[in-house]
Amino acid sequence: MLEISDLRAGYGRMAVLHGLDLTAMPGRPTVVMGANGVGKTTLCRAITGLIPVWSGGIRLDGHDITCLSPAQRVRRGIALVPEGRQVFPDMTVRDNLRLGAYLRGEPGPSDLEQVEALFPILADRRRQTAGLLSGGEQQMLALARALMSRPRLLILDEPSQGLAPKAVAQVAEAVQRISESGVAILLVEQNMTLAETVGEWAVVLQGGRAEVEGPASTVLKSGAVEASYLGH
What's the rounded Cα separation, in Å, for the pair 185 and 226? 23
Q: In the chain, what are the domain boundaries?
A: 2-84+151-229
pLDDT of residue 232: 52
Asked if residue 25 lies in contact with residue 197, where contact means CB atoms within 8 angstroms, the answer is: no
Asked if residue 94 lies in contact with residue 86, where contact means CB atoms within 8 angstroms, the answer is: no
SS3 81: strand
Exposure string for 78-96, b = 16+ CB within 10 A, e = fewer: bbbbbeebebeeeebbbeb
11-37 tens-digit pLDDT: 999 999 999 999 999 999 999 998 888
Query: H/E element holding 26?
Result: none
What's the rounded Cα separation, in Å, for the pair 212 and 231? 14
Whole-model pTM: value is 0.90
- According to DSSP, residue 52 is labeled -
pLDDT of residue 32: 96
**Class in CATH terms, 2-84+151-229:** alpha beta
**Which residues of the chain have a pLDDT value below 70?**
105-109, 224, 227-232
pLDDT of residue 147: 93
pLDDT of residue 37: 85
Chain centroid to Cα 181, Å, comes to 16
